[in-house]
């Protein structure tokens, strides 16, 4: 409070820019990519097509789609020297820290790609990053297991290629399980863009200084790592596992989440914009059941998640604060069913969000947005004279 006005600090509801890419209505729980409802996109589209839609504003025809795939496949490798950077990390390094470093390092190996002067340059840099980033995501996981680092296979589509680069075991045939590929494709679509969230705003802010695309996206990866943002999907599974180990006492943890003296929060619950069900959570919840049934998996974490959701949605504390499950509440359960380890969950979020980050960065550069420079409300010391050391 400063006298007459109440300040809602911290970018809580600032109109930071004009955008044509993604619209969401938090009260209605609606999300549209370039005007198309997320429910229709998730059901009828595929991740490569969504990349094109976000980047170019329209769904591609057959010729445009094939050309886009070809353009991406042109860059379907990563400079061998990049492996030396990866080697320098301990196996215990969190994949998000490795991914942010490697993404920024792409600038050193592709310096021309970041000197964008027009739309063609932007699209060229975008296609290069889309191709190489999926390698970096796969490599961060392979590094933790000491597995050889694969390159892309241009006979596969984008999601199949990522899946094979990540999970192919040396000297073994590799089978693409269509249930896993379809589920991965859908989850990546659901994470593809989300207007001016924390990591996207970071990409725009860094890019507004005319920083190159790779370094701007690297900053977005770091922002997404935070447990209040993309890191929540890992935090949700750790929370569910903790509740399971603690006799599955869901009521105890809902009470902890409400206790102001307890720093515990129900991870995967609440959202800055959605004051209704996150539409992505609804879709992922259904997909989670489908995948677990098709793969014949029983996961206690899902049972606990369902109990948590039921208890919380009937509790005044959550109802009054309009706290509902968000995209991260179920995604960890489906990732685990697909064989993706917990420490890779946020990397999966980054891979999904990449086309959104790039599209927003491209829009910011094409619009010629000015360098971001927010102001503040100063409440520090008033003017005063310097005091020499001997007089202090």
Binding site for ligand SDX (CB under 6 A): 194, 197, 228-229, 232, 257, 265-273, 321, 323, 326-328
Give the number of C-alpha atoms closer than 13 A to the C-alpha of residue 295, restricted to the C-beta side.
22
Q: Looking at beta carbons only, is 143 or 191 nearer to ligand SDX? A: 191
Write the DSSP symbol of residue 170.
Answer: T
The nearest distance, CB 106 to ligand SDX, in angstroms, is 23
Q: Looking at beta carbons only, is 98 or 223 nearer to ligand SDX? A: 223
Q: For residue 278, which of 44, 48, 42, 11 has the smallest C-alpha distance? A: 42
The nearest distance, CB 319 to ligand SDX, in angstroms, is 11
Q: Looking at beta carbons only, is 168 or 265 nearer to ligand SDX? A: 265
Contact status, residue 116 vs residue 140, Cβ threshold 8 Å: no
For every residue of 291-344, DSSP letters joined together read HHHHHT---HHHHHHHHHHHHHHTSHHHHHTT--B-HHHHHHHHHHHTT--GGG
Contact status, residue 55 vs residue 362, Cβ threshold 8 Å: yes
Which residues are identified as catalytic?
271, 328
The nearest distance, CB 249 to ligand SDX, in angstroms, is 17
The nearest distance, CB 95 to ligand SDX, in angstroms, is 18
Residue nearest ligand SDX by beta-carbon distance: 270
The nearest distance, CB 328 to ligand SDX, in angstroms, is 5
Secondary structure element (H or E) that encloses residue 106, with its range: helix 95-109
270 sits in the region (left: phi over 0; alpha: psi -120 to 50; else beta) called left
Other C-beta atoms closer than 10 Å to the C-beta of 263 total 7
Question: Looking at the chain, how many residues does it have?
Answer: 392
Q: Looking at beta carbons only, is 223 or 340 nearer to ligand SDX? A: 223
Q: Looking at beta carbons only, is 177 or 372 nearer to ligand SDX? A: 372
Work out whether strand 30-33 and strand 36-37 pair parallel, antiparallel, or are unpaired: antiparallel
């Amino acid at each position: 409070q400063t006298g007459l006005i109440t300040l809602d600090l911290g970018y809580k509801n600032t109109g930071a820019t004009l955008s044509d890419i993604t619209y969401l209505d938090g009260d209605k729980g609606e999300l549209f990519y370039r005007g198309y409802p997320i429910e229709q996109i998730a059901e009828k589209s595929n991740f490569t097509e969504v990349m094109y839609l976000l980047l170019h504003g329209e769904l591609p025809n057959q010729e445009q789609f094939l050309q886009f795939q070809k353009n991406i496949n042109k860059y379907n490798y990563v400079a061998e020297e990049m492996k030396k950077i990866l080697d320098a990390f301990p196996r215990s390094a969190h994949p998000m820290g490795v991914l942010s470093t490697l993404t920024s390092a792409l600038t050193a190996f592709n310096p021309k790609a970041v000197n964008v002067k027009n739309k063609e340059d932007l699209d060229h840099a975008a296609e290069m990053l889309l191709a190489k980033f999926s390698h970096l995501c796969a490599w961060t996981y392979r590094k933790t297991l000491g597995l050889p680092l694969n390159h892309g296979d241009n006979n596969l589509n984008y999601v199949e290629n990522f899946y094979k680069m990540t999970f192919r075991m040396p000297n073994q045939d590799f089978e693409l399980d269509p249930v896993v590929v379809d589920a991965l494709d859908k989850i990546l679509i659901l994470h593809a863009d989300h207007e001016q969230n924390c990591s996207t705003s970071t990409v725009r802010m860094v890019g507004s200084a005319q920083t190159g695309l790779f370094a701007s996206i690297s900053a977005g990866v770091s922002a997404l790592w935070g447990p209040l943002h993309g890191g929540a999907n890992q935090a949700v599974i750790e929370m569910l596992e903790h509740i399971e180990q603690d006799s599955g006492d869901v009521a105890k943890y809902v009470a902890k989440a409400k206790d102001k003296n307890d720093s515990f929060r129900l991870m995967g619950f609440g959202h800055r914009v959605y004051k209704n069900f996150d539409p992505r959570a609804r879709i992922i919840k259904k997909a989670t059941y489908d995948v677990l049934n098709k793969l014949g998996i029983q996961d206690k974490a899902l049972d606990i998640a369902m109990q948590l959701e039921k208890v919380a949605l009937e509790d005044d504390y959550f109802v009054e604060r309009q706290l509902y499950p968000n995209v991260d509440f179920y995604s960890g359960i489906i990732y685990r069913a697909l064989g993706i380890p917990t420490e890779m969950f946020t990397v999966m979020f980054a891979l999904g969000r990449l086309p959104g980050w790039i599209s927003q960065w491209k829009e910011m550069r094409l619009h010629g947005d000015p360098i971001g420079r927010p102001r503040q409300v100063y409440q520090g010391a008033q003017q005063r004279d310097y005091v020499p050391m001997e007089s202090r």
